[in-house]
Amino acid sequence: MFIALDGGDGSGKGVQIGFLKGWLAEHGYDSVFVRDPGDTPLGDRIRALLLGDSTVNICPIAEAALFMASRAQLVYDKIKPALNAGKVALVDRYLLSTIVYQGYAIGATEDEIAELWRVGTVFAQGVLPDLTFILDCPPEECERRLAREKDRIEARGIDYHTRVAQGYRLAAASWSQHAPGEAFVIDATPSPLEIFEKIKTILESRIR
């Protein structure tokens, strides 16, 4: 089974990933955890280019291609082998992030979004999550939570991140047109434990 957690910067994904890992281990599921972008030698280099190095100019379509290339390697090296071995694959972000950050957030049209889903699915070698949890957090609240130094994408300002938050909702609403599996929008404003209760309830009813 393939589970993805996604959401805006500062939506509290890290804490929920921790709970999810704990829950899977406690219930005896053999799982592999990866974060996108990164977690392969190629992916780590691409990640450094995308998020760390602000001296390299990256145009929007090249940015999308780089995120997709990093993901292609991650699928090949880690996600596919884990799923083939019958393990649970848990990912911190996935193709949905590309659809939202490199699509909706830069004002892509519905046709362009559909194209991004198609190309993104090819790069992901058709390996898409069974279950996606989307942490929905107002950008102003996310901003407050991001107390540390921001990376290249986090630093894009409130307007961009407002479009990111809207993008997640739009992507969830049109999910079945573009992707298999199920996506659930989870309100990320209650306490971390209350949020996890909601995730857990859905997970318990779906996991196999």
Under the rule (CB under 6 A), what is the footprint of ligand TYD? 9, 13, 35-37, 51, 67, 92-93, 97-98, 101-102, 153-154
Nearest distance from residue 100's CB to ligand TYD, in Å? 8
Q: Given the structure tokens 């519905």, which residue do they identify?
A: 110
Work out how close the CB of 59 gets to ligand TYD at its nearest, in angstroms, rounded to a whole number: 14
For helices 60-74 and 110-123, angle between their N-to-C axes, nearest 10 degrees: 30
Q: Minimum distance between the CB of residue 96 and ligand TYD, rounded to whole angstroms?
A: 8
Residue nearest to ligand TYD (CB): 101
8 A C-beta contact, residue 124 and residue 95: yes
Quick one: tokens of 103?
């699509």
Q: How far is the CB of 95 from ligand TYD (least distance, A)?
A: 7
The nearer residue to ligand TYD, 46 or 201, going by C-beta atoms, is 46
For ligand TYD, the closer of residues 106 and 207 by Cβ is: 106
Considering beta carbons, is residue 102 or 132 the nearer one to ligand TYD? 102
Nearer to ligand TYD, 92 or 143 (CB): 92
